[in-house]
Structure 1
Amino acid sequence: MLAFTLRRQARPLQRQLQQRGVSGVSGATTKMFINGEFVESQSSEWTEIRNPATQEVVSRVPQSTAQELEAAAHSAQLAFGEWRRTSVLSRQRKMLDLQHAIRGSMDALAHSIVAEQGKVLSDARGDVMRGLQVVEDMANITNYMQGAKLEVSADMDTYTVREPLGVVAGICPFNFPAMIPLWMFPVALATGNTCVLKPSERDPGAAMILAQLCNDVGIPSGVLNVVHGSHRTVDFLTADPRIRAVSFVGGDRAGRHIYERAMQHGKRCQANLGAKNHAIVLPDADKEHALNAIAGAAFGAAGQRCMALSVAVLVGDAGAWVDEIVERARALRVDGGLEPDADLGPMITRDALARAEQLVQSAADEGAHIALDGRGVRVAKYPDGNFLGPTVIDHATPAMQCYQQEIFGPVLTCIRVKTLDDALALVNANRYGNGASVFTRSGPCARKVQAEIEAGQLGINVPIPVPLPMFAFTGNKASFLGDANFYGRSGVGFYTQLKTVTSLWRKQDADDRQAAVHMPTIH
């Protein structure tokens, strides 16, 4: 009965995607997108994509062959010559058209994310919306691409022009199947580059829909190409000489490999890696706001966000608030992503679930108190789902595995300290620097945190301080490798190079004489 219900809900989406040759359909294979066409892979290696709530096979994704990867890079290289000569106004127009197309396909994208990644429907729509904002910001590309000019001497000007790099690559994680690709290829394309994109092999459906939308709005063949796979695809993208830059979001091990390999082959690379985001909670904070914000930020998306709030640093009397955090966490509904009022869905895979459960157990073994244990949660309609309920670990210490490692699940680790200085020292000693928050009513305390915190993104009474696209995603320390962040002006800088021109046009060379009316003579 359950499988029938899911198929019935997804049937209109399935028909739409079948017509387009896009993944996200039960029993289908995920195609590649090369030179403006959806191409069936000739690979002998395939990975099943399973719905995390049901284990139903949604699609099969290939390991793109060497010939297919070569075709994608060759297509992007050929398309670059024409695309780079397209006016910035024409590229701006494509971004405007693309954002309109994405808005019209919001439901298709969100349902694909629910089926493949497991997010609840409202969060899946949020995934698309945050990526859409980057596309909308690229409609401002005419301002981002402007250079500078100065008359440096008599009749001599020096000015800069911003030019595209060439072919670039994007390597995406599973946790934001729409947002992260939209951090990458729209910025690359708007600046005049062409792109080879590798979505996560766990949930590529949203990226394939976005590729179709690029086709629909008339982005030329070869400007965007989509390939699939894991290690061999990554190694190709980081080594092929046609690819000038690589963008990556994902885990530490893969990120370091990609960054080092790209650097060895002379490429630019920006890589967002792991995180351990802290909320410093002072006892003078607005209690209701702080506790609700922490619960939402810790457990939303089943904790599978690089900006998930995974550690609460409770200062002084705020340590007594753990029981109320537990109350709020216990009230959250764990369910399938399409169910009404679901607050969090399943984790992406059985392996991810097992790892998170093991880290919760390690906390108990090392002396922490499991104030709320979400292991073994049962969802009646989805008995085979990868579910972990909200989990709260109290009286943890920085030496414990549950603190040292990124759990990437709906688990909040609570650490109690005496003073704000203790809290700052704890946060700054952590190797990661993606984001942090402070909850307080004290302006001086907030200002102290702002000045001394070593996280790249700080929220003051804001639990997930992901900046809007007119800024940039500015994680630091071990959370980021590279020197140019994603999207915004920094992202434009990553995908472009400056050319400085010095020109001399002497005034005395201008022919400003009056027209001659006499009969010409020969000398």
Structure 2
Amino acid sequence: MSVIGHWINGETLTPDGRTQAVFNPATGESNTQVALASTVTVQAAIAAAEAAFPAWRDTPPARRARIMFRFKELLEQNAPRICELIGQEHGKISHDAAGELQRGIENVEYACGAPELLKGEHSRNVGPNIDSWSEFQPLGVVAGVTPFNFPVMVPLWMLPMAIVCGNCFVLKPSERDPSSTLYIAQLLHEAGLPAGVLNVVNGDKEAVDALLFDPRVQAISFVGSTPIAEYIYRTATSQGKRCQALGGAKNHAIVMPDADLDNAVNSLLGASFGSSGERCMALSVAVAVGDAVADALIGKLTEAMQGLKFGVHTDASNDFGPLITAAHRDKVVGFIDSAEAQGARIVVDGRHARVAGHEDGFFVGATLIDAVTSSMDSYKAEIFGPVLQVIRVATMDEAMKLINDHEYGNGTCIYTRDGEAARYFSDRIQVGMVGINVPLPVPVASHSFGGWKRSLFGDLHAYGPDGVRFYTRRKTITQRWPSANVREGAEFSMPTLK
């Protein structure tokens, strides 16, 4: 059985310690093991990054950007291989994997603008013969911990911007589907990135803690569940590190009485069940304003869901694939069970999903649940599976209160034809990313991604302009060259411009 190792200082490091099985979630089989890095291995990766930093810091931003241009080309040229690796270990259908890769490439494209993004600010004569300017300098060694659900896109939220800003990066991807992440790291090395600038260590909590407690790591980015995000943020900041930690979500869609219901249903199908619901932006709750809207919505969803297909990643006619592990499948089924036990009505039941020839795969079919209330466990938690719950309310304000009262504030949307209602919603909703008739309002690469409340710990969002700010620190320089022929007296009062 093959073992996936680490990528340190431009070379594959042969694993020699603990390992963990990597499964094909469509078959339930494991033909691969992944190495779990020890603290010593992580320290070796940090040391390689630290050694590479001085030369990389002094590399002109334009040269760093040229490497990113070549990296973009290699990602596009190797897209079929990348998508195949995602499918084998995550189960994501080929068209969905291609979409994930494309959104990641867009962040590489944004990073190619490093010479413009890193331009400082200059003011001449802020005082008599005094000039002042700001520079944006790299932090040093920075790290990222990324989740299983987007093994290519989320690393590409982090490492391109961190690297073009002059930092050296240590990445700890998910141990559940590490191969595609490791492959894109090797492509970046092929694009011309010097050894040590990017290092990848596979592992579990021991590896994460090694990054958190090593004083050479200046900042850490994280995407994952809220309990882990909170732990990483609290630990990192207590160690004096800069941290952005993106956590969980419970994304609601309000369906208004004037909504284009057919379009709303079609977009809800993709937003709720795409990628098996394993997205932090998945729409998992539809809040119907009025029983008439709820009944019509349930009827149309029930009919449309009969045509959904799930199965293996190689069949592009499938809409979504399996869940990542057997344990996660059982957890999702458990939430459906609890909703039923607490009084909800299972309209479309995906608990007994089977795929011919893949009976041991980790599948859950698309599930629709009506009569959900805010007191139910399935409503409070992030299910992270192909489950759409419907809550019935009487008014828009009641719907908004549900959203604003929830502990998560990642994404939300409203379906309406009323511009006044849309503006009222976007102004007053306590959520970081808002869609108006857009079910997955994921910002493009030139904006920044992040939620509110317990969906984000830290002040800066991921990628985009906030990414530049996160991976640099401002240095402001004020200079004056006094005349050699003029002797100046001492000044004891606060300097001011008069």
Alignment-mate amino acid for residue 426 of structure 2? Q
Q: Does 1:437 align with 2:437?
A: no
Distance in 2 separating the partners of 1:74 and 1:447: 51
Instruction: Give structure 1 stretches of 5+ with no counterpart.
Output: 1-26, 511-523
Q: Does 1:119 align with 2:95?
A: no
Alignment partner of 1:472 out of 448, 463, 469: 448
Distance in 1 separating the partners of 2:54 and 2:484: 38
State how 1:20-59 maps to structure 2 within 5 Å.
27-43=1-17, 45-59=18-32
Contact 1:42–1:65 under 8 Å retained in 2: no
1:98-120 Cα distance to aligned partner (Å, 9 max, x none):
11111111111100000000111
2:216 aligns to what?
Answer: 242
Alignment-mate amino acid for residue 318 of structure 1? V
| Runs of 4+ off more than 4 Å | 506-510
Distance in 2 separating the partners of 1:66 and 1:346: 33
1:22 aligns to what?
Answer: none
1:21 aligns to what?
Answer: none
1:372 aligns to what?
Answer: 348
2:247 aligns to what?
Answer: 273
Q: TM-score, normalised by structure 2?
A: 0.96
Alignment-mate amino acid for residue 112 of structure 1? L
2:135 aligns to what?
Answer: 161
Alignment-mate amino acid for residue 294 of structure 2? G
1:400-459 Cα distance to aligned partner (Å, 9 max, x none):
011001000000010011111111111101110100000000000000101111110001
1:461 aligns to what?
Answer: 437
Q: Does 1:98 align with 2:71?
A: yes
1:353 aligns to what?
Answer: 329
CA 1:449 to 1:509, structure 2 compared with 1: closer, same or farther past 3 Å? farther
1:484 aligns to what?
Answer: 460
2:307 aligns to what?
Answer: 331
Contact 2:449–2:462 under 8 Å retained in 1: yes
Q: TM-score, normalised by structure 1?
A: 0.91
Distance in 1 separating the partners of 2:287 and 2:148: 28
Q: Which has the higher contact order (CA 8 A, sep 6+)?
A: 2
User: Helix, strand or coil for the counterpart of 2:169?
Assistant: strand
Q: Does 1:220 align with 2:170?
A: no
Alignment partner of 2:368 out of 392, 399, 406: 392
User: Helix, strand or coil for the counterpart of 1:57?
Assistant: strand
Distance in 2 separating the partners of 1:46 and 1:469: 35
Structure of larger gyration radius: 1
2:39 aligns to what?
Answer: 66
Contact 2:95–2:316 under 8 Å retained in 1: no
Distance in 2 separating the partners of 1:503 and 1:33: 44
Contact 1:298–1:309 under 8 Å retained in 2: yes
Distance in 1 separating the partners of 2:232 and 2:287: 33
Alignment-mate amino acid for residue 433 of structure 1? G
Alignment-mate amino acid for residue 490 of structure 1? D
Contact 2:57–2:167 under 8 Å retained in 1: yes
Deviation at 1:58, TM superposition (A): 4.0
1:451 aligns to what?
Answer: 427
Aligned residues: 483
2:489 aligns to what?
Answer: none
CA 1:282 to 1:74, structure 2 compared with 1: closer, same or farther past 3 Å? same
Contact 2:138–2:473 under 8 Å retained in 1: yes
1:104-147 Cα distance to aligned partner (Å, 9 max, x none):
11111100000000111110111111111100110111221112
1:75 aligns to what?
Answer: 48
Distance in 2 separating the partners of 1:82 and 1:509: 41
Distance in 2 separating the partners of 1:84 and 1:37: 21
Contact 1:77–1:242 under 8 Å retained in 2: yes
Alignment-mate amino acid for residue 66 of structure 1? T
